[in-house]
């Protein structure tokens, strides 16, 4: 049996950043990731500036990567009405292929045992620790962190409510991503709405542009399960998207896709597993803030976990403090994101909102601030 202070399940942004902080604090850490780095992920790849200092502190050389800095926002309705505004403090663009790979390298250097290409099959609670089964081995860990993203085999194992009792309006979404070469301005992020979904477009590293959309799964069913038909029949009714889909062909042979995206409420602790990132709660992507929230949760959890591992905090207090801090920091952001997303799925409401934003200064800024937090 392999024993570690912490076992981290899922090597996305929450898991990798959590692992680095714990290893730097002197704890033994094993991290499991199903895929092998580097790999592409469905994500808009726009990161709010909130997490710039944190990533730099962890050792990501952001200044040397010459990343697009984004401070201008354009949004259109399904018919093509447009609103633009400055984004303050804005964000930056970096592909998940690059960022997750860089973080995995930093984690290894910090001493984390990074087991990529290794899927966790189950986690069980022994009464005082967890046992994690992965790749035909069992690992004993004092702390188990669930950083496995939006949805995983482990949600079924843990009988999580959102998994067992999905609410159709909040649980039937899918995401599609392309990388393209485009001439859209480097400092701009665009969000183009269409019936039952929206598509974000912004520049990332290596001169590429990320085009990523979220759509209700029923739209794909109506299109006979064919993504090309869906894009032609639904997305391209928006004149901006029609133009972009014709001008900017995908650099992938086929799009990256994920289904069964669920925005229902989740819990930050399950069977003594500390959940962070999307596994604890998923904010609708139109906020452009899920990645910063995932990293922010790890920054909040790391000192508490370290106090537990050094005997300064007992398990009950660790779990209570983390769950309370998580609620205080993120739950109202997620609620606001869900509400805003429900308005933008509706073509008439989107038209009204964009019209209102053009005549009410401060409306857009107010909505954006509801889903964002401070630098950490």
Ligand X SMILES: Cc1cc2nc3c(=O)[nH]c(=O)nc-3n(C[C@H](O)[C@H](O)[C@H](O)COP(=O)(O)OP(=O)(O)OC[C@H]3O[C@@H](n4cnc5c(N)ncnc54)[C@H](O)[C@@H]3O)c2cc1C
Q: Which residues are bridge partners to 71 per DSSP?
A: none
Q: 280, 152 in Cβ contact below 8 A?
A: no
Question: Shortest distance, CB of residue 139 to ligand X, whole angstroms?
Answer: 12
Would you count residue 147 as binding ligand X (CB under 6 A)? Answer: yes
Q: 10, 32 in Cβ contact below 8 A?
A: yes
Question: Shortest distance, CB of residue 10 to ligand X, whole angstroms?
Answer: 3
Would you count residue 40 as binding ligand X (CB under 6 A)? Answer: no
* 302 Ramachandran zone, left/alpha/beta (phi>0; psi -120 to 50): alpha
Of the candidate residues 12, 146, 255, 345, the single one contacting ligand X (CB under 6 A) = 12
Element (H, E) at 341: helix 332-344
Q: Which is nearer to ligand X, 214 or 313 (CB)?
A: 214
| Unique residue bearing structure tokens 């029949």 | 233
Would you count residue 209 as binding ligand X (CB under 6 A)? Answer: no
User: Given the rule CB under 6 A, which of 6-14, 63-71, 236-244, 365-373 is the region that contacts ligand X?
Assistant: 6-14
Task: Tell me the site size for ligand X, rule CB under 6 A.
Answer: 40
User: Given the rule CB under 6 A, which of 53-61, 151-159, 233-241, 248-256 is the region that contacts ligand X?
Assistant: 151-159
Q: 113, 29 in Cβ contact below 8 A?
A: yes
Would you count residue 119 as binding ligand X (CB under 6 A)? Answer: yes
Would you count residue 46 as binding ligand X (CB under 6 A)? Answer: yes
Would you count residue 194 as binding ligand X (CB under 6 A)? Answer: no
User: Could you give the CA distance from residue 184 to residue 202 in angstroms, rounded to a whole number?
Assistant: 7
Q: Which is nearer to ligand X, 48 or 313 (CB)?
A: 48
User: Given the rule CB under 6 A, which of 10-18, 66-74, 163-171, 179-187 is the region that contacts ligand X?
Assistant: 10-18
Strands 82-93 and 69-76: antiparallel
User: Structure tokens of 189?
Assistant: 């992020």
Q: Which is nearer to ligand X, 44 or 78 (CB)?
A: 44
Would you count residue 43 as binding ligand X (CB under 6 A)? Answer: yes
Question: Shortest distance, CB of residue 91 to ligand X, whole angstroms?
Answer: 8
| Unique residue bearing structure tokens 């409510």 | 161
Would you count residue 45 as binding ligand X (CB under 6 A)? Answer: yes
User: Given the rule CB under 6 A, which of 77-85, 234-242, 276-284, 365-373 is the region that contacts ligand X?
Assistant: 276-284
Question: Shortest distance, CB of residue 132 to ligand X, whole angstroms?
Answer: 9
Question: Shortest distance, CB of residue 329 to ligand X, whole angstroms?
Answer: 15
User: Could you give the CA distance from residue 34 to residue 43 in angstroms, rounded to a whole number?
Assistant: 17
Burial class (CB in 10 A: 0-12, 13-18, 19+), 311: exposed
Of the candidate residues 7, 22, 28, 32, the single one contacting ligand X (CB under 6 A) = 32
String marking each residue 283-322 x if it binds ligand X according to CB under 6 A: --x--xxxxx-x----------------------------
Of the candidate residues 78, 255, 277, 281, the single one contacting ligand X (CB under 6 A) = 277
SS3 290: helix
Q: 357, 83 in Cβ contact below 8 A?
A: yes
Element (H, E) at 368: helix 363-370
User: Structure tokens of 352?
Assistant: 């009204």
Of the candidate residues 60, 212, 309, 368, the single one contacting ligand X (CB under 6 A) = 212
Q: Taking the CB of residue 138, how many other CB atoms lie within 10 A of it?
A: 12
SS3 24: helix
User: Could you give the CA distance from residue 112 to residue 105 in angstroms, rounded to a whole number?
Assistant: 10
Would you count residue 197 as binding ligand X (CB under 6 A)? Answer: no
> Rounded to an integer, what is the distance from CA 100 to the centroid of its chain?
12
Q: Which residues bind ligand X (CB under 6 A)?
A: 9-15, 32-35, 42-47, 119-120, 147-149, 152-154, 175, 200, 212, 214, 261, 277-279, 285, 288-292, 294
């Amino acid at each position: 049996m392999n024993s570690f202070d912490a076992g981290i399940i899922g090597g996305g942004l929450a898991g990798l950043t959590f692992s680095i902080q714990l290893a730097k604090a002197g704890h033994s850490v094993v991290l499991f990731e199903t895929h092998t780095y580097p790999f592409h992920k469905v994500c808009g790849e726009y990161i709010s500036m909130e997490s710039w200092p944190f990533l730099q502190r962890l050792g990501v050389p952001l200044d040397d990567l010459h990343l697009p800095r984004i401070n201008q926002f354009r949004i259109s309705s399904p018919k093509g009405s447009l609103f633009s505004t400055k984004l303050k403090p804005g964000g930056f663009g970096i592909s998940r292929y690059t960022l997750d790979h860089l973080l995995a390298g930093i984690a290894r250097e910090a001493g984390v045992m990074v087991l990529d290409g290794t899927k966790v099959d189950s986690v069980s609670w022994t009464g005082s620790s967890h046992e994690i089964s992965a790749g035909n081995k069992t690992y004993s860990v004092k702390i188990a962190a669930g950083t496995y993203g939006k949805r995983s085999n482990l949600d079924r194992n843990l009988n999580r409510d959102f998994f067992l009792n999905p609410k159709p309006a909040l649980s039937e979404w899918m995401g599609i991503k392309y990388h393209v070469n485009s001439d859209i301005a480097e400092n701009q992020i665009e969000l183009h709405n269409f019936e039952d979904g929206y598509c974000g477009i912004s520049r990332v590293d290596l001169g590429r542009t990320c085009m990523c959309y979220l759509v209700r799964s029923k739209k794909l069913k109506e299109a006979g399960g064919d993504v090309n038909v869906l894009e032609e029949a639904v997305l391209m009714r928006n004149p901006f998207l029609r133009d972009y889909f014709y001008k900017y062909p995908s650099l992938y042979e086929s799009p990256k896709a994920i289904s069964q995206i669920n925005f229902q409420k989740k819990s930050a602790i399950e069977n003594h597993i500390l959940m962070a990132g999307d596994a604890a709660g998923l904010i609708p992507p139109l906020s452009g803030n899920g990645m910063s929230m995932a990293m922010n949760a790890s920054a909040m959890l790391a000192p508490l976990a370290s106090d537990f591992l050094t005997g300064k905090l007992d398990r009950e207090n660790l779990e209570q403090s983390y769950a309370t801090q998580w609620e205080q920091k993120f739950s109202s952001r997620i609620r606001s994101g869900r509400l805003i997303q429900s308005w933008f799925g509706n073509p008439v409401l989107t038209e009204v909102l964009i019209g209102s934003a053009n005549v009410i200064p401060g409306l857009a800024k107010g909505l954006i601030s509801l889903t964002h937090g401070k630098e950490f």
